[in-house]
Structure 1
Amino acid sequence: MKPTSLVILTTTAIFSMSWVIPALADVDYHIDINQPAHHLAQVSVSFPQTDSDKLTVNLPVWRTGRYQVLPVADGVRLFNATDSKGQSLPWKRTASGEWQIALTKPTSVKVTYQLHANELGDRLRHIDNSHAYLDASGVFMYSPAFRQQPVTIKMAVPEGWQSYSGMDKGPKSHSFSAPNYDVLVDSPIETGISEHVSFEADGRDYDVVFWGEGNYDTQKIVADLAKISGQASAIWDGYPFKRYLYMVHATSGARGATEHLNSTVIQIPRFNFREREDYLRFISTASHEFIHTWNVKAYRPQGLVPYDYQSENLTDLLWMAEGSTSYFQNQLLLRAEVITAKEFFDDLSKRIVLNQHNPGREVQSIAEASLGQWSSTWGDYALNHSVNIYSEGYLASMALDFSLLNDTQLEHSYRDVHKALYQEYKIPMGYNVADVQSILKQLSGKDYQSWWQEFVNQPFSLPFDELLGHAGLTTTYGKSAKTVVDAGMALSGLHDDLILATVIKNGPAWKAGLTAGDEIVAINGLKVTADGLTKRLNDFIVGDTIKLSIFSDDRLKEVSLRLTEQPKGDLTIAPLDEATDAQKAFYKAWLGVDWPFDDKGEWISTAD
């Protein structure tokens, strides 16, 4: 067994033949942000005395919240190790994120290294003249021998900076403490020039830190975050934190978000806050990450417990960790009246359309996608042969929710499954498939193994109108729905080229023999441009066969393509003509809010 796989879950002594666990003592971290303009800092880690003949230190090869191995250690240079007297110790690099230090006698060890931090979009580490965002997985090394020891963090930062973290504050400015490395690695630090606002919701304290200029409305964001933060009781019966930190980055292009133990970081391009569509994307992300504080951080699948920071952590339940979080995120916003019912169903409509246009749903199960997340990529192959744990996990969660509501005559919903997971499988425990199925049986009195086989262990397609019908709803393209021609392909969208990015499996282009990377030159012998391709295709009707001139591997070819049809316009979700009281009751049990339509079938808006 590798030293990196040795994890102490409690303070009970667990021994290895290669080292002896030392007495409880702090691991002290210090970071000096001395060259912010060049993204550089100096880091030192002081480990307590050990009686072993070697000390292994590691920098994680991945960070929590992103299930992918990253070149984290590439930011480390000038590594050095010294003993308690300041004498240099011999060391060697034994893996991409591992260093072994040779010891000849009991001694404390101090490790120092230069850190380059310019990975803002990875939400790993970023230092510049205005701030530093420090996720410990990309900044602070640890030793498996001292993983459970208390840690202190002291920082030397430029004058005028303010520092924030979900960790406890230390006795001095720009210092923090944590009970162990696992808390440190899940409590990133934001330090720099920022705007800070505090609020209280449901007996808990919250901080919001804004870094970067942008077109955001601080008051609106804080007000909506307060509404979201007060909705946790809709699913769970308690909080895993006393204080929570929202970190908002208004960036020059980086985007994304990551959940942590009692905080989150959300990155949005600086001018992507004001328009309603942009704002909904931001606030939905905030809700998603807040939910993760329970689902993933407070309880998570066994494959992720405890975290192994030096290798992949496989689980076939990653769809529940991510997809179910996506499923709940807008429900919390709807309950909090941050979004309207129409906005909720506009989002669901888009998810349905994406699912229906994803050939991969006929190929890959969400269990397989969960296991393959660590090596997943995106592109033509993924579209045609894969599913996404977020989007398909959302739909599987919805199917499970509807099944549970029906099986319990609306007494229990999928929310109760997650409430039970929080009650019964808090970290350091982890849950497995059998545990989830056991909860489902306890709630419904029914065995869900066959459901699991149909919707989780094999590819699935949902009968959306049948499902939504339980809640008095249906899908529609409108009374004046039309169809347009479809070639079953999409361009890369880069510059003005006509290079195919995707070719839909079993669509017209696929059947014509086209593949991603082919470049369209002409249609029926006439030159075509990227901005004119759609207009040119619309000159034809469904069933027409056109001749495409293409370059494939630099060779000019001509192929015949028969156009098919696709609906024109946006899919929407609307009420059935005469929704029954039972269907309206199902709707309320499902989403926790009243029927959103008036007597004429028009939306009743409730959000600000």
Structure 2
Amino acid sequence: MLGMRRSFADELANYTSNLDKKRRYSCFRMKKNARLLYLLTVWTFFIPFFSIASSRLADDETPAAASPSVTYVLSMPEPQTHYFEVEMQLKNMATATNAKKNGYIDIKMPVWTPGSYLIREYARNVQGFTATTGGKPLKSEKISKNTWRITTPASTDDNLTIRYRVYANELTVRTSFVDADHGYVTPASMFMYHDALRNIPLRVVVQPYKTWKNVATALEPVAGQTFTYEATDFDLLVDSPIEIGNHHTFTFTASNVPHSVAMFGEVDYDEKRLAADYKRVCEAAATVIGEHPCKHYTFIVHHIPSGGGGLEHLNSTTLETSRNAYATEANYKGFLTLVAHEYFHLWNVKRIRPVALGPFNYEAENYTHMLWLSEGGTSFYEDYILRRAGFHTPETYLNIVGIDITNIENQPGSRVQSAAESSWDAWIKEYRPNENSANTTISYYSKGSVLGTLLNLAILAGSNGERSLDDLMRFLYAEYYKKQKRGFADEEFRQAAEQIAGRSLDDFFTIGVNSAEPINYNTYFEPVGLRLVNVAGKTQDGFLGAATTVSNGKATIASVRRGSGAYTGGLNVGDEIISVDSVRVGDDLLRLIGGRRAGETIKVLVNRGGFLREIPVTLTQNPLASYRLEPLPNVSPAQKALYNKWLFIK
């Protein structure tokens, strides 16, 4: 309504201005036209009233409501207790959130973090949730596992302050952690949100512990304000981990983009060499798409006693590696492989993505059949990038491909679960393995890496070496990320792959992706002059099929392979093997059965739940393969040319 009145006043002012011009013109011709003089007199009389009305309209206008804003203040005054403290400041939020109309406002904590496909229930670590307005407390209650409802009566101020504590004592790339040495924040596990305010700009103010001097994050710093950062929306905040402490940072430039590396943990390394090798990896990765979308990029690296892994983000990544990551060439190459994997995710997953992977629902699973491409395809590229960067020789790369195939073919679950099914079931199976997982599942990482190799070869062969998987990734980047600004559907991906390959890829998708049937690998390798060969030595030794762990001299079954003698005979996970054919077993189980033949029956005495049982087991032939790529005889010039194109041989 105010808008209509304002518009009328503006039109009236314009009209009177035009009339004033007409009045001057009429005075000039007054003697010739008395009627015009009369009209002029009438308008002159009414102009003051119109001016007064216009002035009153301006005086009555209500200033536009101030925009809502969200600011998080993150502190850690007692880091040794493993607690972060969060203050969430909502300003001018009443209208945007309908807080006064509804009488309440709901604040939520994400239940998972993108890139790690498991419901992690971050709200379980939240304590001491309170809300105030104008210094006065407001009633709040938890209405679901991750939602707090704050009562907002009509008298509630437009500004709301929420405070809570988060217990953080799990140092992984997908959780938060703080102790006397440093703090690390996975934002999904730390910061709450309101649905209506997810898409507005926000700020994060970090207040480090009194003796800590550094903060590392890909969030944009606010000029002139120490340790204050801003994000365009909540999604970007979730995608920007934060490291706080006294870590060392070094920098380098790759593809004209500044990169920083925050190093936490006591570790020996050659900074000059490491920076140069980071640069080689990053620039080789950038050649896949040919465009770098970041203004800057941040690596956060945790050096821990054991374990490792990484989690990708839009403009950064967090890596965990052992303290001896740089001690040997093998360890060093392994670390660079991790760098290549997580770095390539800045394209594949964060920008080239299935439609399900963004925008995210932070309260539930986000299902897709294509993690074999998003994660497994990135696993393919990690080694392919190191090859093009010169860290792997062609022979080393071929050996890696053979090992990848060996690993999936030796897993019984590869004949049960397809790559598409593995992707869909990530939420309930990938991160929750049990003793039977190897018999029923296949990892979308390992199967996807092999499928990446095969798809690359199929495109190379179909286009006579003119195109590769790189071209498919470039097309997806240009069409869906840049042009349509969305993810792609499964069928859109297949259409794009066949368009780039220049032929049908029915066998690849029907057999390789969507079924658990055996793959005819040599149809992919023959165009580059290779064949896949099982080089496992044939042996007459019988195969038991039960893997054991030994503790305090006791051999306990940890897994039983589907189809093996142990599986068929009835040995169970958790059985303690006492003896084989009356000979006591310790850590020598394999030696005891090593001389037995396939088809021979042995008597296994086990302790099962405190009861002794003697179980006859018939040994089978060893089913384990070991695959290697070998050159075909009489390789043609076309095959050789395609081979060189594939492996970047000039």
Confirm or deny a common fold (TM above 0.5): yes
Separation in 2, partners of 1:480, 1:137: 50
Query: Residues 459-518 of structure 1, C-alpha deviation per residue, up to 9 Å, x if partnerless?
Result: 132234453333233445769876754222211466643221211111221122223222
Give, as a single letter, the amino acid of the residue that structure 2 aligns with 1:37: Q
Note the 1:37-56 alignment, pairs <5 A: 37-49=80-92, 50-51=94-95, 52=98, 53=102, 54-56=104-106
User: Of 343, 347, 359, which residue of structure 1 is paired with 2:412?
Assistant: 359
1:407 has 2:462 as partner: yes
Q: Which moves more between the two structures, 133-142 or 493-502?
A: 493-502
Aligned counterpart, 1:350: 403
Task: Tell me by how many angstroms 1:252 deviates.
Answer: 2.6
Give, as a single letter, the amino acid of the residue that structure 2 aligns with 1:92: E
Task: Tell me by how many angstroms 1:567 deviates.
Answer: 8.2
Separation in 2, partners of 1:293, 1:378: 28
Aligned counterpart, 1:14: none
Task: Tell me by how many angstroms 1:315 deviates.
Answer: 0.8
Task: Tell me by how many angstroms 1:160 deviates.
Answer: 3.9
1:518 has 2:575 as partner: yes
Task: Tell me by how many angstroms 1:88 deviates.
Answer: 1.1
Structure 1 residues 146, 186: closer, same or farther in 2, change over 3 A? same
Aligned counterpart, 1:417: 472
Aligned counterpart, 1:164: 216
Larger relative helix fraction: 2
1:337 has 2:408 as partner: no
Q: Is the 8 A contact 2:312 2:346 kept in 1?
A: yes
User: Of 199, 202, 222, which residue of structure 2 is paired with 1:148?
Assistant: 199
Structure 1 residues 276, 534: closer, same or farther in 2, change over 3 A? farther
Q: Which moves more between the two structures, 62-71 or 400-409?
A: 400-409
Q: Is the 8 A contact 1:240 1:298 kept in 2?
A: no
Task: Tell me by how many angstroms 1:582 deviates.
Answer: 2.3
Task: Tell me by how many angstroms 1:278 deviates.
Answer: 2.4
Aligned counterpart, 1:460: 517
Structure 1 residues 230, 489: closer, same or farther in 2, change over 3 A? same
Separation in 2, partners of 1:537, 1:248: 45
Give, as a single letter, the amino acid of the residue that structure 2 aligns with 1:370: S
Greater RCO (Cα-Cα under 8 Å, separation 6 or more): 1
Structure 1 residues 479, 111: closer, same or farther in 2, change over 3 A? closer
Structure 1 residues 489, 238: closer, same or farther in 2, change over 3 A? same
Separation in 1, partners of 2:512, 2:623: 27
Q: Is the 8 A contact 1:437 1:447 kept in 2?
A: no
- SS of equivalent residue, structure 1 residue 240: coil
User: Of 78, 82, 94, which residue of structure 1 is paired with 2:128?
Assistant: 78
1:28 has 2:78 as partner: no
Aligned counterpart, 1:541: 597
Structure 1 residues 485, 507: closer, same or farther in 2, change over 3 A? same
Separation in 1, partners of 2:286, 2:332: 25
Q: Is the 8 A contact 2:76 2:208 kept in 1?
A: yes
- SS of equivalent residue, structure 2 residue 641: helix
Aligned counterpart, 1:305: 358
RMSD: 2.4
Aligned counterpart, 2:611: 555
Q: Is the 8 A contact 1:413 1:589 kept in 2?
A: no
Task: Tell me by how many angstroms 1:333 deviates.
Answer: 0.7
User: Of 93, 97, 100, which residue of structure 1 is paired with 2:142?
Assistant: 93
Give, as a single letter, the amino acid of the residue that structure 2 aligns with 1:109: L
Task: Tell me by how many angstroms 1:450 deviates.
Answer: 5.7
Note the 1:454-493 alignment, pairs <5 A: 454-475=511-532, 484-492=541-549
Query: Residues 153-204 of structure 1, C-alpha deviation per residue, up to 9 Å, x if partnerless?
Result: 1111133421111111123222211111111110111111111111111211
Structure 1 residues 484, 335: closer, same or farther in 2, change over 3 A? farther
Q: Is the 8 A contact 2:546 2:559 kept in 1?
A: yes
Q: Which runs of 5+ in 2 are unaligned?
A: 1-64
Aligned counterpart, 2:3: none
Note the 1:87-486 alignment, pairs <5 A: 87-105=136-154, 107-158=158-209, 159-170=211-222, 171-376=224-429, 377-426=432-481, 428-449=485-506, 451-475=508-532, 484-486=541-543
Task: Tell me by how many angstroms 1:525 deviates.
Answer: 0.9
Aligned counterpart, 1:18: none
1:591 has 2:591 as partner: no
Separation in 2, partners of 1:438, 1:562: 50
After TM superposition, the score normalised by the length of structure 2 is: 0.83
1:67 has 2:117 as partner: yes
Separation in 2, partners of 1:62, 1:568: 37
Separation in 2, partners of 1:480, 1:390: 28
Give % identity.
27
Separation in 1, partners of 2:462, 2:333: 33
Aligned counterpart, 1:17: none
Q: How many residues align?
A: 572
Separation in 1, partners of 2:352, 2:646: 23
Q: Is the 8 A contact 2:352 2:476 kept in 1?
A: yes
Q: Is the 8 A contact 2:406 2:625 kept in 1?
A: no
Q: Is the 8 A contact 1:33 1:156 kept in 2?
A: yes
Aligned counterpart, 2:622: 566
Separation in 2, partners of 1:355, 1:400: 17
Separation in 2, partners of 1:418, 1:462: 24
Task: Tell me by how many angstroms 1:121 deviates.
Answer: 2.2
Task: Tell me by how many angstroms 1:72 deviates.
Answer: 0.8
Larger Rg: 1 or 2? 2
Separation in 2, partners of 1:249, 1:213: 10
Q: Which moves more between the two structures, 547-556 or 163-172?
A: 547-556
